[in-house]
Amino acid sequence: MQDYMSLAEKNGVILKDFGACQFCGAETQKGIHECLEIFNVGFQRINFSKEENHRYRFLIVDSHTLQHPEIHGRWNNHFHLTRLHLMIKYKVKWTYKLSPKLSEHLNQYKKGKEEEYLWPPPVLKRGRITTTEVLKVKEDELKCKTLIEKWAIEVYEVLKEHHEIVDGIATGFLKKGNVFSSNK
């Protein structure tokens, strides 16, 4: 857990430990710390170990990470927005095996692109749906899943100006045959 604190410090951001989440606006009491806690353990009605539910884990991680880039590494937006793009636009059925392949693809992509940043929208303008919104419906598995889908689409849409860039990364990734070979 110390990790995100040091990343925030590195990014010159002071973390508030009270009130609403300073990044996404979630209605928390302890700010980002509580927002992360909900993200880590909040939606237990969904059995994430079942393969059919893996999708929701990926969508949660992508949505939350893209709403809180200040506590993540510099290339995280590239990874998570590309993954959302592949799942939403290209309807890729994501699997755990594909994530390291996408990281590898990005490692090659980022060479010579040290100046390329996928800047997020200002804080509190990264989609209305947040961890606390999803938490409110956590007892109802279907509602929870539906809201997670909406959450991901909302976050994906607020980053529209970067869709062209991630489309280039995504199509390069697809051309390598990664999805086909890992779903076989």
Near Zn ion by CB under 5 A: residue from 8, 20, 34, 35: 35
Least distance in angstroms from the C-beta of 62 to Zn ion: 14
| Cα 114 from Cα 132, distance rounded (Å) | 35
Residue 24 contacts Zn ion per CB under 5 A: yes
| Cα 86 from Cα 39, distance rounded (Å) | 22
Q: Applying CB under 5 A, which part among 35-43, 49-57, 109-117, 142-150 lies near Zn ion?
A: 35-43
Q: Looking at residue 123, what DSSP letter applies? A: T
Least distance in angstroms from the C-beta of 26 to Zn ion: 4
DSSP per position, 55-113: HHHHHHHHHHHHH-GGGS-TTHHHHHHHHHHHHHTS-----TTHHHHHHHHHHHHTTT-
Q: Applying CB under 5 A, which part among 28-36, 40-48, 51-59, 167-175 lies near Zn ion?
A: 28-36
Residue 21 contacts Zn ion per CB under 5 A: yes
Output 21 or 169, the one with its CB closest to Zn ion: 21
Residues that bind Zn ion (CB under 5 A): 21, 23-24, 26, 35
